[in-house]
Chain A
Amino acid sequence: MGLADIIIKFILIVIIFAISLVIAMYSTYAERKVAAFFQDRIGPNRAGPWGILQPLADGGKMFLKEEIIPTNASMFLFIVGPSLAILTACIGSAVIPWGQKLTIGSHVVDLQVTDINVGILYIFGVVSLGVYGVMIGGWASNNKYSLLGAIRAASQNISYEISMGLSIIALLLVTGTLSLRQIAEQQTGWHWNVVYQPLGFLIFIICAFAETNRTPFDLPECETELVGGYHTEYSSMKLGFYLFAEYINMFISSAVMATLYFGGYNMPFMHHFGFSENLVTILGVVFLFIKIFAFIFFFMWVRWTIPRFRYDQLMDLGWKILIPLSIANIVITGIVITLLK
């Protein structure tokens, strides 16, 4: 790998990092706007035209707030918690293929930070790490509400990771590879995996809601029961990091869902117009982001529609319904694939 390649990769990493942070930032704005529209309101409209500077105002407020570390909190872990949450949220984007190859002069730029052959496992590992941020933060706060929220987050994530993994196994039976790049390449035109794995996608999206702690599975920060949940004791930018991590997670899981099930950067008839390679690549990136935004909108849409599950209902759904369903999905997929061969 030459110096030029390293520089290109570095620039790519910075761009992806910046994009995911900006999207997370504007997801907070979008969430408030979308919530307002769903409730026949206007939403934030004071900071800048249509309120588009609202995230900056929020961020500025977060930075300027007093930083409180409770006396009985475990100081080190109290700081590690939100750091870990935002770290794991940010590194998930490394294996997502954002587009095909872009040719600039003599350089061919791969629009993916790294194409490891176990991309899905990497994402899965990062997602599982995410719960540690919540768990450590909640435990270090030395507050019963935080602890309850953290325990809920941990048990919820562990329960739903199982069915998420099982639904991915059914997908892997279809694709035959763990590399996200190859999975995206396989889905050219209309060969989107959601067509072959509708049940798997349903299970995956439900688990994605649970993994990102979004309504109807937002029990870890359930305000009515647990004050603020695992971030009750947090203030200032440490609280901001937790909130921010949630939105980055939402962005990343939308990207993963778009890549795994909705063809990633592929769009029907993209190669039939006779555009140049670079234009097709750029169009592909645009399509991918349209899909991602659609998913983010869906996350918000569901949030303002469905009430929160009760804790036992959550566990019932996870263990008694989703896991058997996903196992059945694997069996059916296996049978069908064997018969078709």
Chain B
Amino acid sequence: MEPLSNKRKLIESKPLNFLERAYLPAILSGLAITMKHFFRKPVTISYPEEKREFSENFRGMHSLKRDEDGKERCTACGLCALSCPAEAITMIAAERQHGEEHLYREEKYAAVYEINMLRCIFCGLCEEACPKEAIYLDGDIVPADYLRKDFIYGKDKLVEAPLNQ
């Protein structure tokens, strides 16, 4: 049959000559190869002490952003929850009261904002959906924990630290 691609490679299977059958030269060259590796720098990254650098578009833990005056940007529009394919985001909206203008940028804000980190697939669609540039997946890897309920992150863990701190 005509070859369909040019990847075909003819394999020669000659009987082994004496040196090859003696097996020792092959062992010696193998030993030389492993010896080369013996002096090579280890590729291991000792994890807790040193961390591998993330790539630029790495998507880690979410953070809810503040604007330049330190007000929360999120207006609880719900587009992130709507766009979330894993249905990991829930929120409860509330109206901004008098005297809270320094806390929230718009008249409506998220009183409760929860992300279930066990459901989240870190796809970044919430980030893309957000019209207020309020949510970004720019954090670290989500740390391990013991209980499922502890993986539901509320605003205490998600909102950025205030500016003056």
- Please give the residue numbers on chain A whose beta carbons come within 8 Å of chain B beta carbons, in ascending order: 34, 36-42, 45, 301-302, 304-306
Contacts and interface: CB of A to CB of B under 8 A. Distances in A.
Nearest to A206: B24
A40 to B, nearest CB: 5
A306 B43 contact: no
Helix, strand, loop or mixed for chain A's interface? loop
Contact of B40 (A34, A40, A304, A306): A40
A45 B35 contact: no
B19 to A, nearest CB: 15
Contacts of B41: 40
B30 interface: yes
B34 A45 contact: no
Closest 9 CB pairs of A and B: A305-B34, A42-B44, A305-B30, A42-B42, A37-B38, A40-B43, A38-B34, A41-B44, A305-B31
A306 B37 CA distance: 14
A302 B35 CA distance: 10
B46 interface: yes
A42 B40 CA distance: 11
B73 to A, nearest CB: 44
Contacts, number: 35
Contacts of A306: 27, 30
B31 A302 contact: yes
Contacts of B43: 40-41
A42 B31 contact: no
Contacts of A40: 37, 40-44
Contacts of B30: 305-306
B42 A38 contact: no
Nearest to B41: A40
Interface in B39-93: 40-44, 46
11 contacts: A36-B42, A37-B38, A38-B34, A40-B37, A40-B41, A41-B42, A41-B43, A305-B31, A305-B33, A306-B27, A306-B30
Interface residues of B, number: 14
A39 B37 CA distance: 7
B126 to A, nearest CB: 38
A306 B30 CA distance: 7
Contacts of A301: 31, 34-35
Contact of A42 (B27, B34, B38, B46): B46
B37 A45 contact: no
A45 B40 contact: no
A34 B39 CA distance: 11
A299 to B, nearest CB: 12
A34 B43 CA distance: 15
A40 B43 CA distance: 6
Contacts of A38: 34, 37-38
Contacts of A37: 37-38, 42
Nearest to A304: B34
Contacts of A304: 34
Contacts of B34: 38, 301, 304-305
B38 A45 contact: no
A167 to B, nearest CB: 16
A197 B31 CA distance: 23
A9 B27 CA distance: 43
Given A305-B30, A306-B30, 13 more contacts: A36-B42, A37-B42, A38-B38, A39-B37, A40-B40, A40-B43, A40-B44, A41-B42, A42-B44, A301-B34, A301-B35, A305-B34, A306-B27
